[in-house]
Amino acid sequence: MTSPEARTVAVWRKLVPFRVHVKGQGPAVVFFHGPWGLTWDAFLDALARRFTVYAPEHPGTTPGEPETIQHVQSLWDLVLCYDELLDQLGVSTASFVGHSFGAMVACEVAALRPSRVGKLALLDPIGFWRDDAPVVNWTLVAPAELPKWVFHDPDGAAAKKLFAIPDDREEAALARTRLSWAMGCADKFVWPIPDKGLKRRIHRIEATPTLLMWGEHDRLVPLVYEQEFRRHLTRARVEIVKRAGHAPHLEQAAEAATVVAQFLAG
């Protein structure tokens, strides 16, 4: 696996630098990562064989630049930052792929400028709330328990890669700090409940061709939310990934990449 090119693009009056990982050739695909930070993985590498993949790191999650999140005060600020970023990257039209919190952001960025997005692939998205099936607040989960909540197989390779803690004491402390900070940067725009008004804006993208992909064993965001998104997105289709939890693109990377790539190219 060859490494993607890393670019830094400053937006929001140059106060918010985005590090963007770019790889591939073909139609543009923008990947919005989840609340545990960006990892360039087999899923993104597979998409890069058919598309030009742009994978920005969420503000504040780039090592050495944690303070940048302080300049992004609200979800609306964040959406406008991403809009400015895509302008500066010259991405006038693209497909959006988002995971979890990143899927919610992808919907919001698309709703801001519907003409920019061709297709949406939403992997275990958040953005709605039901009292009878609450989304689990991952910030209240003990770090050692996160793999059990995020993955169907908490001892599998994908879980170990995402939540790996080095043996060295100092490196382990740094890894835990980075993970906590990455979650904090996302949590700023999610909790106390992950319902920030998307239901009032999603009508702007209701006709966008959409793939809803869900891990069959998602413990964080119950599968019932697939119905909520499908109710608002009239051209949505659903794909349930077996032997996967909240991160099917990590736990079943080959299958997820094949389904997403075929959908985007179709």
> At residue 120, what is the residue type?
L
Structure tokens at 57: 């790191």
164 pLDDT band, cuts 50/70/90, is confident
pLDDT tens string 86-115:
999 999 999 999 999 999 999 999 999 999
Tens digit of pLDDT for each residue in 224-262?
999 999 999 999 999 999 999 999 999 999 999 999 999
pLDDT at site 27: 98
Q: Which two tokens stand for residue 165?
A: 């803690």
- Point out which residues pair with 16 in neighbouring strands: 11
Domain around 188: 5-265
DSSP 18: E
In this structure, what CATH number is given to the domain that contains residue 73? Answer: 3.40.50.1820
Tokens of 181: 């900070």
What's the confidence (pLDDT) of residue 179?
85
The pLDDT, as a whole number, for residue 66 is 82
Q: What angle do CA 89, 95, 97 make, to 5 degrees?
A: 100
121: enclosing H helix or E strand:
strand 117-123
* CA angle in degrees (0–180, nearest 5) for 118-46-99: 55
- In our burial notation (b when 16+ CB lie closer than 10 A, e otherwise), range 156-166 reads eebbeebbeee
pLDDT at 41: 95
Residue 254 CB neighbours (<10 A): 10
Does the pLDDT value for residue 176 go beyond 90? no
Work out the angle between the directed axes of helices 75-89 and 101-112 (0-180°, nearest 10). 70
| pLDDT tops 80 at residue 63 | no
Based on the structure, what is the number of domains in the chain? 1
178 pLDDT higher than 90: no
77-97 as b/e: b if 16+ CB within 10 A = ebbbbbbbbbeebeeeebbbb
Name the one residue in this structure whose structure tokens are 């992909």.
Answer: 213
User: What is the pLDDT, as a whole number, of residue 177?
Assistant: 83
Cα separation, 63 vs 169, whole angstroms: 19
pLDDT tens, 10-39? 999 999 999 999 999 999 999 999 999 998
- Specify the residue for token string 């985005």: 18
pLDDT band, very low/low/confident/very high, at 170 (cuts 50, 70, 90): confident
Contact 143, 180 (CB under 8 A): yes
